[in-house]
Structure 1
């Protein structure tokens, strides 16, 4: 039957109910996105205020949505010499010191999100493996691998492995025993788990399994202690999966992006591990310039905070975040939280550095 020969009423009577529900949901999501920022903040749950203690130099791409995601490496021997790797998703990867100064830039093209792990075998030696979601080919996702030299703060490209068909968005690493896995989140909500091997001259990857969310997703993080993967579905909420290679592929929703505790877009994800199983998962509530903490033990809501203007500017419209506990020197004695700043006054976008102790005290949570 040709649609042109049907009345509008006849057409809508024949539309599947699920299509109409999805259309209404899409319109509702668009309406929430379109609401002025002041309205979104007023409708959201109260957030406490913290201020940044530092910031990085702006990325090199001006007048554009360019800075995206950070990853932290902690120097256990000399915490003040720790490093931050950050993406300019239109140009490549930066390495910053805790003073915010640029230590290195590697032209890697359109790399979106980044993660790293220390103690990975690289070319036969233990080292710091950095991975980025490579979207230089929008139709075919790749994982770009790099080695970070802690002494020189330089990145060296190792090669790329296949991440599956689709546009690469998010990425996070997971260590299970001696194995290293990357979860690459594609734009359509597909999450591919890739077993990585960087021990030889050329890195290799093997797809282990595929997980699925229904719509656009990006931020992710894995708790290596418990083997749980957390993924943010931008207009829907925060989910968790079993990260183990032989685990269930089913998803459990932790929080809905309903405009209360979590405001769409739900973006970056980071973990604050405390003890053997406790701690918090943090997610960027991009829609109202806030960040939300949920308890790892029972997925319960723990609080919200914003990074506001102080001696250092605040952070707004945050995409990627990272968090690592431990001593990072006198400015960050209990841990470091890094957030992309999507509106860095008149300069290009950058990353803001916040002391975990300041966040935990403001929220009244353990640290």
Structure 2
């Protein structure tokens, strides 16, 4: 299925197939090739065993020594882990049910710059909240700052957006609601103000913002990918990028990540977890065009299956990940509990002949 560029809204998501002549059978689509890569590392397992518990990762890149960068990841039954790039647990904070996580560096928190971590708090299934933390990069420990309300519904997806000095959290609920919350961290306690509501038609979770283009991407699990204007004054129209077609995307469509090329334009890729067939699809940010797909296959650290959350950061992360790193939740890590696999982004680009 060709990717849809623009104009189709969430309220008008059915494709008009037109009239098909009975004497002209549809052509057989060309098979979709799925490349393979192997992981170069993995994290320790989460503490909740025998359950779907690990979910979503975020990455803080150490600008002074990229090999000392940190991974923050959720055990959605219990709390947040901080790992080193060697995969070893550096700390854990018990938070209760937090589902997705994101972070931003150089954020003014109570008058002092630091690394802000946010997570979708599911403790009240009727009212989604944003949980906020400060990451001490020297000790690799998280300190809870508090929670702020967002919108009604069960908290699922979470992503941050920074624009013109303002910081926003997008909360995606299980029911498909999306709330844009302006965050104020100047005082002793964080404050959140709901500035906009968006919506897709059914269960959704994964979200990510490309701050260069002010585009918010949301994964509607059984339907496909949508793009919104992330600016609080932007149009609320949802533009369809791609649908679940059992070729490029399989339901459930889960985690999303931006693999920027480092430019100030729109270069790079949107990376999507195609959970239904244990694969990942790439779409070009410049025009939403499908580029290719790959799997994390069996190797020294095992394969990934049923991936929920993913993250990709392009850039130097030391000798093991010189061109960037991808973190993917592994939903089947038997006989151990679930964990996260670490992949060199260069390996993905080479497998898809993009480098």
Q: What is the match of residue 279 of structure 1?
A: 268
TM-score by length of 2: 0.90
Q: What is the match of residue 65 of structure 1?
A: 52
Q: Is 1:201 equivalent to 2:193 in the alignment?
A: no
- Contact persistence 1:91–1:109 (CA under 8 A): yes
Q: Which structure dedicates a bigger proportion of its chain to helix?
A: 1
Q: Aligned with 2:62: secondary structure?
A: coil
Taking the aligned partners of 1:181 and 1:105, their CA distance within structure 2 comes to 25
Q: Aligned-pair distance for 1:272?
A: 0.7
Q: Aligned-pair distance for 1:258?
A: 1.5
Residue range with higher mean Cα deviation, 61-70 or 190-199: 190-199
Taking the aligned partners of 1:305 and 1:44, their CA distance within structure 2 comes to 14
User: 2:291 aligned to 291, 302, 324, which one?
Assistant: 302
- Contact persistence 1:44–1:259 (CA under 8 A): no
Q: Aligned-pair distance for 1:200?
A: 1.3
Sort the Cα spacing of 1:44 and 1:165 in 2 relative to 1 into closer, same or farther, 3 A. Answer: farther
Q: Aligned with 1:359: secondary structure?
A: helix
Q: Aligned-pair distance for 1:163?
A: 1.3
Q: What is the match of residue 4 of structure 2?
A: none
User: 2:170 aligned to 183, 189, 193, which one?
Assistant: 183
Q: Is 1:89 equivalent to 2:51 in the alignment?
A: no
Taking the aligned partners of 2:37 and 2:171, their CA distance within structure 1 comes to 31
User: 2:304 aligned to 300, 308, 315, which one?
Assistant: 315
Q: What is the match of residue 102 of structure 1?
A: 89
Taking the aligned partners of 2:99 and 2:61, their CA distance within structure 1 comes to 22
Q: Aligned-pair distance for 1:160?
A: 0.2
Q: Aligned with 1:225: secondary structure?
A: coil
Q: C-alpha offsets along residues 57-76 of structure 1, whole Å, 9 cap, x if unaligned?
A: 00000000000000011001
Q: Aligned with 2:118: secondary structure?
A: strand
Q: What is the match of residue 264 of structure 1?
A: 251
Q: What is the match of residue 133 of structure 1?
A: 120
- Contact persistence 1:133–1:184 (CA under 8 A): yes
Q: Is 1:346 equivalent to 2:335 in the alignment?
A: yes
Q: Is 1:336 equivalent to 2:325 in the alignment?
A: yes
- Contact persistence 1:125–1:199 (CA under 8 A): no
- Contact persistence 1:44–1:263 (CA under 8 A): no
Structure 1: give runs of 5+ residues left out of the alignment: 1-21, 23-42
Residue range with higher mean Cα deviation, 107-116 or 273-282: 273-282
Q: Aligned-pair distance for 1:44?
A: 7.5
Q: Aligned-pair distance for 1:260?
A: 1.0
Q: Aligned-pair distance for 1:320?
A: 0.3
Q: What is the match of residue 230 of structure 2?
A: 243
Q: Aligned with 1:287: secondary structure?
A: helix
Sort the Cα spacing of 1:258 and 1:44 in 2 relative to 1 into closer, same or farther, 3 A. Answer: farther
Q: What is the match of residue 325 of structure 1?
A: 314
Q: What RMSD over aligned residues (CA atoms) do the two structures have, in Å?
A: 1.1
TM-score by length of 1: 0.87
Q: Aligned-pair distance for 1:198?
A: 1.4
Taking the aligned partners of 2:46 and 2:87, their CA distance within structure 1 comes to 11
Q: What is the match of residue 5 of structure 2?
A: none
Q: Aligned with 1:339: secondary structure?
A: strand
